[in-house]
Chain A
């Protein structure tokens, strides 16, 4: 059988290829096998594609905005660069809020941040030092990313995008646009200890059903006016407390007055009685 096959192949090869071409058969076979496996994505120990049923750590590493807004105006009145912050929403909930990167056109955020309170309370752990969103691959549950310009009492929407998790790979995912939000780097790592592993990998140009947003997504709409609402709530809380305290003080005063009035009445009666007994 083997003899027949080799002879058959040999006859056909001799007919089609010159004899010198036969010399390169092993090299061609090596190249073909290596190429096929490479194209099949088996060139790495583990595939970088996200899998269902695995929890991933996601964070925004960088967000770059244009030097001027789309309408040509400056970010600030005194040529100050914007104070950038970002949010990630998943399954209709905000799952990550970054800190504010002050006065920059390229906001950078780190996934590791030590919470001093946790250190003092002796609660240092992987979860307390990671500032990442934890998500799972699920159909129809894209990531919503919003980038904001922070002010004292308000937060302006700069730009955002909706990206399916299937479009992302482990490591750095880069998406670019021609809008105000020029570039976003989204990092994805395996849970729970691999946050640092994916750093340093070449960026992957994410493709797929990516939608750039001009308005903040509904889940972040409330957060846009967040500082104002927070300030209002704080003022309301303080006024409620003051009112309660004043009411308590008033009640105490009432009681004291009544007690004094009672005592004064008794003294008056005693004096009147004394005068009537000894005119």
Chain B
């Protein structure tokens, strides 16, 4: 029973890792700015302002960094890039390397990794924000968002299973 649960968690972690890797590269969303009734005129005189803008997660973090929003870029990089990797690694270690890594280290990593995958929350906030903008601006979500969401769901299930297994132990 314990071994079966171990294998299930391992598979979930592996799948979640693949989905996370895909989410890093695939575009998350495209923002198409609009200017309401003036869209045609703005397109003529300042078409640059209306160009659609696609975002990937690393690309978005780089843009924030270059735009001087260093703190926000660091925060987003931490919760979206570093902590998810830590979380998946911890889950993997719990299943496969439990004897090799100290329990106190595992506890620390586990505590930290709770804050991972906040990017889905950030994306949903961004989508809501853009939808409230005037002028017909809209956001199109791409496969990257689905990959991230899938990765989050799998890692949540893996985390729950792993926690119940550890509690049983």
* Chain A interface residues (CB < 8 Å from chain B): 2-3, 6-7, 10, 19-20, 22-27, 29-34, 37-38, 42-46, 112, 124, 126, 129, 193-197, 199-200
Contacts and interface: CB of A to CB of B under 8 A. Distances in A.
Given A42-B25, A196-B46, 14 more contacts: A23-B89, A23-B100, A25-B17, A26-B17, A26-B88, A27-B17, A30-B21, A33-B18, A37-B25, A42-B26, A43-B27, A45-B142, A124-B44, A126-B44
A20 B47 contact: no
Contacts of A126: 43-44
B22 A34 contact: yes
Contacts of B44: 124, 126, 129
Given A29-B18, A45-B27, A193-B43, A3 B3 contact: yes
How many chain B residues sit at the interface, stated as a range, is: 35 or more
Interface string B1-13: 0011001101101
B148 interface: no
A20 B96 CA distance: 11
A197 B47 contact: yes
B150 interface: no
A38 B18 contact: no
A124 B26 CA distance: 39
Nearest to B81: A30
Most buried by A among B22, B25, B50: B25
A95 to B, nearest CB: 22
Contact of A34 (B25, B48, B52, B54): B25
Interface of B: 3-4, 7-8, 10-11, 13-14, 17-18, 20-22, 24-27, 30, 43-44, 46-48, 50-52, 54, 56, 85, 88-89, 91-93, 96-97, 100-101, 142
Contact of A26 (B3, B4, B14, B51): B14
Contacts of B54: 44-46
A28 to B, nearest CB: 9
Residue among A24, A33, A42 with most chain B CB within 10 A: A33
A265 to B, nearest CB: 73
A250 B51 CA distance: 66
Contacts of A24: 89
28 contacts: A2-B7, A3-B4, A6-B10, A6-B11, A19-B97, A19-B100, A22-B96, A22-B97, A26-B14, A26-B17, A27-B89, A29-B18, A30-B17, A30-B88, A33-B17, A33-B21, A34-B25, A37-B21, A37-B22, A43-B25, A43-B26, A43-B56, A44-B54, A45-B30, A45-B142, A112-B47, A197-B51, A200-B48
Contacts of B10: 6
B163 to A, nearest CB: 18
Contacts of B101: 23
A6 B14 CA distance: 11
B164 to A, nearest CB: 19
A210 B51 CA distance: 31
B97 to A, nearest CB: 6
A14 to B, nearest CB: 10
